[in-house]
Amino acid sequence: MKFELNTPGKIIFGAGSLVRLGELLSHWGKRPLIVHGRNPDRAKLVQGELAKSGFEAHLFSVRGEPTVTEIAEGRKQAKAAGSTLLIGIGGGSAIDAAKGISVLATNDGDLFDYLEVVGRGKSLSQPGLPCIAVPTTAGTGAEVTRNAVIASPEHRMKVSLRSAFLLPRIALVDPELTYSLSPQVTTATGLDALTQLIEPFVSNRANPATDGACREGIPRVARSLQRVVEDGLDSAAREDMALASLFGGLALANAGLGGVHGFASAIGGMFDAPHGLICGILLPFVVAANLEALKLRASSSPASVRYDEVGRLLTGSNKAVAADGLAWLKDLRQILNVPGLSSLGVEKKHIPEIAAKSAKASSMKANPIDLTVSELEGILEAAF
């Protein structure tokens, strides 16, 4: 058995832990660039608090999942401000932007030199500026991953910038920062967290360390996602979801993902749709297709046994099998009112293009079984 485990320099978890931010930054200089999403309120609050300790923080915003152009502009602003470190505060988009800016600030060339699929895929040669990740959603796990998802509008694709240099120096996870999330955002990000626990668990790159994270995380989502959608101030459920998201990030960073995220890369690049919602729409249909393909072509694959365990982890029944887990996922989709692909603006005429792009996505490489183009198109058809 051989495996590697990539993790951030330090993980700090707990309600109220944001108050420690100033003390954690002190040895990396006094000029952070704070990267945030559409709403600047929390970033401005952090900026004000840091100013009391002598920090001169500048703000940089991204409006959604960061684009190649936004990362380049962020590098320009970081250099102009003399920034000595990056703070990403927000959802996965803000954190990924901070991670991307941190490494582009210290490496020559443009982003296309380093991007997968649509770029030249070169390796980053220099560590980035120190980056501290502070998630305000519970879904992406970006605070502990070694990649940043970047949108390339000209290619109509979302692809990854990937390197161990993108691992944040500190992941500071404070569940209290998620209390104000709307039910819609809570649903979408929670479904992303669930997907990022199931896919690494059945991945062809799974290892004992990631298995432990998934086994701990899946039941937390199963017992708490519906609760927290119904009551955003349920502190125990919020903590469960924040921890599940963290575990999902650790798992995907070290075991990869699968078909759902392969599709999400393509669909997210073609349509302005929330990543977590794409995952929630597709998860049951990808699981169903994987189970059928395993039955037909690889009945002795360990992934079949893994899916049985997913069934037990989701349902809480030690007698459950894969079919029970799939039924549970379908029920959850109904309970949370998850729509179909058409709600994202996807039409059936787009199916061939989405399937072709998805087949090339890096996430697809870790799917437990290779899916044919016909199977990929069938998943999309079913998800309408």
- Mean pLDDT on 126-142: 97
What's the pLDDT at 149? 93
- Tell me the per-residue pLDDT of 215-258, one tens digit each, with 9 for 90 and over: 999 999 999 999 999 999 999 999 999 999 999 999 999 999 99
Pairing label, strands 170-173, 147-152: unpaired
- Alpha carbon of residue 164 to chain centroid: 16
Cα 273 from Cα 342, distance rounded (Å): 11
**How many Å apart are CA 1 and CA 149, to the nearest integer?**
30
- pLDDT, tens only, 92-104: 999 999 999 999 9
Contact 114, 100 (CB under 8 A): no
Distance CA 323, CA 246 (A): 27
For the segment 348-371, the average pLDDT, to the nearest whole number, is: 96
Would you state the pLDDT for residue 186?
98
Fold assignment, 10-178: Rossmann fold (3.40.50)
Q: CA-based angle 8:361:104, to the nearest 5?
A: 45
112 closest CA partner among 146, 72, 65: 72
How many other CB atoms are found less than 10 A from the CB of residue 15? 15
The whole-number pLDDT of residue 117 equals 87
pLDDT tens digits, one per residue of 31-58: 999 999 998 998 998 999 899 989 999 9
**DSSP one-letter code for 162:** E
Cβ neighbours for 369, distance < 8 A, ≥ 6 positions apart: 290, 293, 294, 297, 298, 301, 303
Task: Quote the pLDDT of residue 2.
Answer: 87
Mean pLDDT value across the chain? 96
Six-digit token string for 291: 């189970």
Q: How confident is the model at residue 156 (pLDDT cuts 50, 70, 90)?
A: confident
* Percentage helix, strand, coil for the chain under 3-state DSSP, each rounded to 5: 60, 10, 30
- 267 contacts 345 by C-beta, under 8 angstroms: no
CATH architecture of 183-382: Up-down Bundle (1.20)
d(CA 200, CA 222): 17
Domain-wise residue ranges, the chain: 10-178, 183-382
Residue 184 C-alpha from the chain's centroid: 17
Measured between alpha carbons, how far is 173 from 134 in angstroms, rounded to an integer? 6
Q: Kindly provide the residue ranges of all beta strands, DSSP E only, lying in the chain, ordered along the sequence.
A: 10-13, 32-36, 58-61, 85-90, 131-135, 147-152, 157-162, 170-173
**Residue 144 confidence class, pLDDT cut points 50, 70, 90:** very high
Burial grade of 253 (CB within 10 A; 0-12, 13-18, 19 or more): buried
Each residue's pLDDT tens digit, 160-176: 999 999 999 999 999 99
